[in-house]
């Protein structure tokens, strides 16, 4: 059979009905080849050739218009149907934090237990932040005393009920359960994400550079990111616009006083 033939060469029209005119060099072998042929025919059973020029059509949205948003919507739908948690995007944290949070929620961080599960590292499993319990993602971000203290400081800063999380998902959705709305809620969402990023950075410094993890260092890192232009507090990057800073600073004066005036 000619491998470069077109569909039109192999589908003939007999009195309005399409039929396959397959021209094999040899008969199909029973078993896999016949099964594959049946599968192919079932895919093409409703196929109808037209005289129009071929064109690509995006079938991922109702209006057939391709957009990055519709790809995201489709992926979210597919992953959601598989029971995979997908955190919403936070518009005012650096992209690196959003990507990190996505990896965290998908259980794609190289924590000690994750490496052990994949038979990559079966050595010491103790958490490098507290040196007390085994390191898992849930422990690092929700139950390690460093994380617990961090979230209590964030709660005090923002004057919100204590952030208590029993899972990573609880933590990433904590802004939904503190009685805030609108921008205030988004600020808490962003600070928790920056906190997770900073916590993981401290963990990596301790694990790979033997730098003892200290809460002050994590707080310093959070402030550094909050002050950074990349976050958009000064109008750059993918963060909030400059004029929104005034509004946000009135929402959470204590945080922004610390961020703006702190000499770290």
Q: What angle do CA 119, 124, 129 make, to 5 degrees?
A: 120
* Closest distance to Zn ion from the beta carbon of 146 (Å): 6
Burial class, 56, CB count within 10 angstroms (exposed 0-12 / middle 13-18 / buried 19+) = exposed
Q: Pick between residue 130 and residue 251 the one whose CB is nearest to Zn ion.
A: 130
* Closest distance to Zn ion from the beta carbon of 203 (Å): 9
Q: Pick between residue 61 and residue 143 the one whose CB is nearest to Zn ion.
A: 143
Cβ partners under 8 Å of residue 157, min gap 6: 191, 252, 254, 255, 258
Q: Pick between residue 129 and residue 240 the one whose CB is nearest to Zn ion.
A: 129
Helix, strand, or coil (residue 68): helix
Q: What's the rounded Cα separation, in Å, for the pair 223 and 201? A: 14
Cβ partners under 8 Å of residue 191, min gap 6: 154, 157, 158, 222, 226, 255
Q: Pick between residue 135 and residue 186 the one whose CB is nearest to Zn ion.
A: 135
* Closest distance to Zn ion from the beta carbon of 193 (Å): 20
* Closest distance to Zn ion from the beta carbon of 199 (Å): 10
Q: Pick between residue 113 and residue 230 the one whose CB is nearest to Zn ion.
A: 113
Q: Is the dihedral of CA 203, 207, 211, 214 positive or negative?
A: positive
* Closest distance to Zn ion from the beta carbon of 119 (Å): 23
Contact residues for Zn ion, defined by CB under 5 A:
127, 129-130, 144
């Amino acid at each position: 059979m000619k491998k470069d033939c077109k569909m039109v060469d192999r589908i003939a029209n007999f009195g309005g009905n399409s039929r396959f005119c397959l021209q094999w060099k040899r008969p199909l072998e029973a078993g896999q080849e016949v099964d594959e042929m049946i599968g192919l025919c079932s895919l093409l059973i409703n196929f109808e050739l037209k005289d129009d020029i071929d064109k690509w059509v995006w079938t991922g949205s109702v209006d057939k218009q391709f957009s990055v948003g519709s790809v995201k919507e489709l992926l979210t739908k597919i992953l959601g149907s598989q029971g995979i948690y997908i955190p919403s995007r936070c518009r005012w944290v650096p992209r690196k934090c959003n990507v990190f949070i996505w990896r965290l929620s998908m259980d794609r961080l190289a924590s000690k237990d994750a490496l052990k599960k994949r038979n990559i590292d079966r050595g010491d499993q103790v958490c490098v932040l507290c040196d007390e319990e085994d390191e898992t993602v849930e422990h690092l971000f929700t139950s390690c005393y460093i994380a617990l203290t961090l979230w209590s400081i964030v709660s005090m800063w923002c004057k919100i009920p204590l952030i208590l999380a029993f899972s990573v998902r609880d933590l990433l959705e904590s802004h939904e359960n503190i009685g805030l709305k609108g921008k205030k809620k988004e600020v808490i969402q962003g600070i928790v994400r920056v906190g997770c990023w900073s916590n993981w950075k401290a963990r990596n410094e301790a694990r790979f550079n033997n730098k003892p993890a200290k809460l002050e260092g994590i707080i310093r890192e959070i402030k550094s990111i909050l002050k950074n232009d990349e976050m958009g507090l000064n109008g750059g990057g993918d963060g909030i616009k400059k004029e929104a800073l005034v509004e946000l600073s009135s929402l959470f004066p204590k945080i922004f006083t610390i961020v703006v005036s702190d000499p770290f």
